[in-house]
Chains A and B, each alone.
Chain A
Amino acid sequence: MLSRTADNLYWLARYVERAEYLARILEVTQRLRTLPLSYAGSSNEWESTLATAGCAHAFSRAYAEANEETVTDFLCFSTANPSSIRNCFEMARGNARAVRTALTVEMWDAINGTWLELQRFGSGTRSHEEFMRFLRWVQESSLRFDGSAYRTMLRNDAYWFSRLGVYMERADNTARILDVKYHLLLPAHERVGGPLDYFQWAAILRSVSALTAYHWVYRDSVKPWLIADLLILRDELPRSLASCYQNLVLYLDHIGRAYGRQGAAQRQAQSIRARIENSRMEEIFQTGLHEFISEFVADNNRLGVTIGEQYLI
């Protein structure tokens, strides 16, 4: 397979995953902003959203103030923000078009249909109702694309590279939420937040669609250290770091076996996965949640670079 084809498939999957994540955190923000100030805390929720989206720096170059209007525009429709939902879909479709022949008709239909539909929303939405519809639509589009890939693609290197894109992006997104919100998740005696963090905790779970899952796994009320456990160590949760790395190792193994060669990417992924599997939540809190996550983010980025060097260029 051409390296460029693999690269296009990988980024196609990443951009669709990223668009869904952005829609999810914006939906959560919309919930939080309806709470009384004393519940949601005094911090600017829109700034926190930008940080969770990983766009705070780029935003500050374009706008002076983070409020509902500027942040939703920047994250959803802005052409100046390379990671806006609009740009994610544009890039995804651009990548798809470049590898038309490597996609199934269903995948092409899904991403091309999304792109055509995107033009209808134009450069913004006119009401809250329409905005919420837009966010739902983004998530449904991602589900449709992911489902069409899962159900129609041949299980060969094309599929594996596209899955690598999904899980690299997902690991990065989950880690970013943890990185921005870690202070809310520290055990009670270390906590720096207010007593009404419950809504913030629920918001974190919602942004990885895990609020219901949490109750099924723990059968307990929402506790911050259990949230950290769920998002980092529990491989039952599809967006946990453990689950992402289980999948990254799996698909890198498939590629390595098919090509008859293991490389640096396989070794790095296995070592990150081993580190997660061998960790206990108590130890992570002892050595520092923030340090653990920072290290993970750096490792994850390094793996992305290695996959690129080994296969995509």
Chain B
Amino acid sequence: MADAFDEMTGVDGTVQPAYGELARWLAEIAPDILAFRRREAEVLFRRFGITFAVYGEAHAQERLIPFDVLPRILAAAEWEMLRAGLEQRVKALNLYIQDIYSRREILKAGVVPEELVFQNPVFRPEMNGLKVPHGIHVHIAGIDVVRTEAETFYVLEDNARTPSGVSYMLENREIMLRLFPELFARHRIAPVENYPDELLAMLNSVAPQNTSTDPTVVLLTPGVYNSAYYEHSFLADKLGIELVEGRDLFVMDQLVYMRTTQGPKRVDVIYRRVDDDFLDPLAFRPDSTLGVPGLMTAYQAGNVTLANAVGTGIADDKAVYSYMPQIIKFYLGAEPILKNVPTWCCREPEHLAYVLDHLEELVIKEVHGSGGYGMLVGPQADKQTIAIFRAKLKTNPKSFVAQPTLALSTCPTCVDEGVAPRHVDLRPFVLTGRDRIRIVPGGLTRVALTKGSLIVNSSQGGGTKDTWVLDQ
């Protein structure tokens, strides 16, 4: 694998303009300042209780995500290109889902194979022909983007179900403002603090037509044991809306109510962070205790908006991903602004044959996997792991896709040895409302803290950075 593009020093060591001030500042400061601020940041995070849970770890029930104190910086022009690409991509995702659950023109045109939709376990027949409020399915999308060269951004993954991480984007900025006022004073940085306001405006805009002018919006969480519970409570607090669990809601005459100390109160919009499967035990998994019995009937009657809609999973798994360039062209008649990583779908025999021949150089992912679990990074894996994946691929090729190992860009990162380059990705959040699409400049930058590692997921030891979009 060739040397990665460094966002501060490029390929030849020349400091990029966006990083000019940061580079000067790093050269000026006393060497122990960064270590000191790092410790300070950790104290702040722990005090605020900003934690997440890692599934499968009995003891580390609440853990901190490591935070890197050096910001990741994007120039205004870079961001503008990204923003346009994200908007285009999310528009196409919404049109695709709308089409799949109604006229299915894209299937008739043979652009996307039918079995990819109908044999997909996240396809929801309950959504067929359903007119969701204002025709929006993906209200909140998190699009994972990586960079390989100065001008080359790839979308790595679309998250169209219940993307998380936005609380870190907001908290990282707050912590940075506290820790590095002098560094901020040297820059003009687009703010992210208005994200909760934008989110609330979007949620208000998508209330069902027949509700009052002042809709009641709630955030539905699986509860305190969910790994993203901190984020749920954080957002509910910032939005000033009730954080509800399934048992706080009930459905009567196809209307949704929450139980309050003053009796039942009608609910119009549910920003739900509960997966489809657990949303309504009468419609989906009957053993779910997290959901609201009858919620789907209220939804189907058009009396409540679910954000995101049910069944959006058909647009974001890794097999559909490989068709995204065609999907964008089909609905928008335009070339994709953001590139797609070339993807081999192992369900197709000739692709599988190629993948099995090149396991050592490819990244293998499960079609329905997430969080960096069940993944093989060929160039970094030992022989035994490769053998295990070879067997998996042969027995169940449909469950896997493969991609070339991208040389993800690096950013200067504060590690034990000092400041060193580490690989990063970026998850910006795209909000689609009735009136318009809103994207707060920036997003969550995740960084692989281990030298050379390409896996940035927090569940695999990744950290986060504040992401700055400069105003020039």
Contacts and interface: CB of A to CB of B under 8 A. Distances in A.
A313 B248 CA distance: 9
Contact of A2 (B223, B229, B258): B258
A157 interface: yes
Given A94-B224, A100-B49, A313-B259, A2 B244 contact: yes
A101 B243 contact: yes
A161 B224 CA distance: 21
A2 B233 contact: no
Contacts of B245: 4
A112 B46 CA distance: 11
Given A3-B248, A4-B245, A311-B261, A101 B224 contact: no
A112 B47 CA distance: 9
A100 B258 contact: no
B200 to A, nearest CB: 15
15 contacts: A1-B260, A1-B262, A2-B242, A2-B260, A2-B261, A3-B260, A4-B244, A4-B245, A4-B248, A4-B259, A5-B242, A97-B224, A97-B229, A101-B237, A108-B49
A2 B49 contact: no
B263 to A, nearest CB: 9
Contacts, number: 45
A255 B262 CA distance: 10
Contacts of A157: 261
Interface of A is mostly: helix
B247 interface: yes
Interface of A: 1-6, 94, 97-98, 100-101, 108-109, 112, 157, 161, 255, 259, 261, 311-313
A4 B49 contact: no
Nearest to A310: B261
Nearest to A261: B262
A157 B261 CA distance: 9
B236 interface: yes
Given A100-B237, A109-B47, A1 B224 contact: no
B356 to A, nearest CB: 48
A6 B260 CA distance: 9
B259 A112 contact: no
A2 B259 contact: yes
A98 B233 CA distance: 8
Interface string B352-363: 000000000000
A157 B242 CA distance: 15
Contact of B248 (A2, A101, A108): A2
